[in-house]
Amino acid sequence: MSLDFDMGARAGALRGQLRELIEQELPEHFPGAFTDDPADLAAAQRFCRVLAERDLLCLSWPQRFGGADASVWEQTVVREEMWAHHEPRGAQYMGVNWVGPIIMRHGTPEQQRRHLPPIAAGEVIWCQGFSEPEAGSDLASLRTHARRDGSAGWVINGQKIWTSYATMAQWCFLLARTTRIGEGSVTKKQQGLTVFLVPMDNPAIQVRPIRTMMGPHHLNEVFFDDLRVTDADVLGDVDAGWSIVADVMSYERVGIARYARCERLLAAAPDALGDRWERLPAELTARWMRMLTHCRRARLMAYRVVALQASGRITPGDAAAYRIAVTRLDQESAEVLMEIAAEAPAGPRGQWFRAEVDDHWRYSQAATVSSGSIEMQRILLSRALLAGPR
């Protein structure tokens, strides 16, 4: 018995089209957008506009919002091909995968008109203002506070941390406390939170990069010092932001198709090593085969979450189960690939493979804390399992 992951001729043609565009539009051995060279970010931005011109960037979005009304499975093909090839959309995947869909579900018509077309055109980058120095995995304990200032205004003060792409983003999807615990009907820390859509060019916002081995742009501190916004910048209802956050997590975690990148690097290993492949220890090649199997497991779990998402039945537990699987795959495959890459011969192919594996390993080290720590994912999954069948 075997599992068939073929999505049909249409999906196959789409994969071919995407791979052709990647080959034509990107520099050879494109290293990703997040390097010290501004040209790499510029290449990613150009590529996003190419995808948008061909209605491929937001393929499954409704046409009225700049999409092509395609199926979620065609969008899954785009997601897989992008992640397999070093995510040449750069930071755009955030707007495409979850910021846009969340604004579709919770935004006002004016917010939809303002924000969705630029995302669909590949013209805008978003960052996420969630985690804080003392509110990472326990997000509801955040301290960034928005207080009323007049009948339709707010003043926001606080700090966010680990904010990816804040140095390049034009907009921030910001979560802040609008009612303190004990005030009014707010009795739990998950209550009294509100989402704001704020422009990053406001002088009341200061961004400080955090240097890490992952390279530029990945992590930053963001400070809000008397940032003034209006009710028009509130997404959804005031004090009801936690339900939006739950939606965000479901979209965000399945949107990162790291299994596709793992599988591409694992599949490239025999060719990269050439004659040396046959001389690898049997134990190492056995681990390599196990990782390929785990890639397929993570892919299958992703497809299940995509199907649930499309039917509107996804829960935090569903997304958490996938996130645990792909996080473990990321780190375990990175360790196997590092051992294999050490045996790669000199020459362009071996050099490319070693560089790609090194990048994969560095990214994987943050996998257990990004998009929610793996410990929190296990808690979410445990709660879902204890709650019983839906």
123 is catalytic: no
Q: Which residue range(s) make up the domain with 37?
A: 9-124
Residue 91 has a pLDDT of: 87
Number of structural domains found in the chain:
3
Last residue of a domain, one of 239, 272, 289: 239
Same domain, 158 and 230: yes
Q: Please say if the pLDDT value at position 390 is more than 70.
A: no
Same domain? 112 vs 16? yes
The answer on 356 and 262 residing in a single domain is yes
Last residue of a domain, one of 177, 205, 239: 239
| Residue 136 within a domain | yes
**pLDDT tens, residue by residue, 114-129:** 999 999 999 999 999 9
Between 280 and 302, name the one with better pLDDT. Answer: 280
What span, in angstroms and rounded, lies between the C-alpha atoms of 23 and 29?
Answer: 10
| pLDDT, tens only, 258-301 | 899 999 999 999 999 999 999 999 999 999 999 999 999 999 98
Nearest CA to 84 among 257, 261, 258, 259? 261
Catalytic residue among 80, 87, 132, 252: 252
Cα–Cα distance for residue pair 251/319, rounded to 1 Å: 8
Q: Which position has the higher pLDDT, 283 or 37?
A: 283
Q: Are residues 111 and 166 in the same domain?
A: no
Residue 154 lies in a domain: yes
User: Do residues 58 and 80 both lie within one domain?
Assistant: yes
Same domain, 226 and 326: no
Residue 1: pLDDT band (50, 70, 90) is: very low
Provide φ and ψ at 276, rounded to 5°.
Answer: -70, -20
Over residues 32-57, the mean pLDDT reads 91
pLDDT for 212 equals 74
CATH number of the domain at 77, please: 1.10.540.10
- 103 with 47, same domain? yes
Q: How far apart are CA 59 and CA 78, in angstroms?
A: 8
Q: Name the average pLDDT for the chain.
A: 89
Is 159 in the same domain as 227?
yes
Same domain, 136 and 56: no
Is the residue at 99 inside a domain? yes
The CATH number of residue 309's host domain is 1.20.140.10
Neighbours of 373 (CB within 10 A): 17
Extract the tokens encoding 337. 């690939």
Q: What is the CATH number of the domain that holds 174?
A: 2.40.110.10
Whether residue 371 is contained in a domain is answered as yes
| Residue 277: inside a domain | yes
* Distances 192 to 142, 157, 234, 238, 246 between C-alpha atoms, Å: 11, 16, 13, 8, 15
Residue 237 confidence (pLDDT) above 50? yes
What pLDDT score was predicted for residue 16?
94
Q: Is residue 170 part of a domain?
A: yes
Quote the pLDDT of residue 268: 96
**Which residue, 107, 124, 141, sits at the end of a domain?**
124
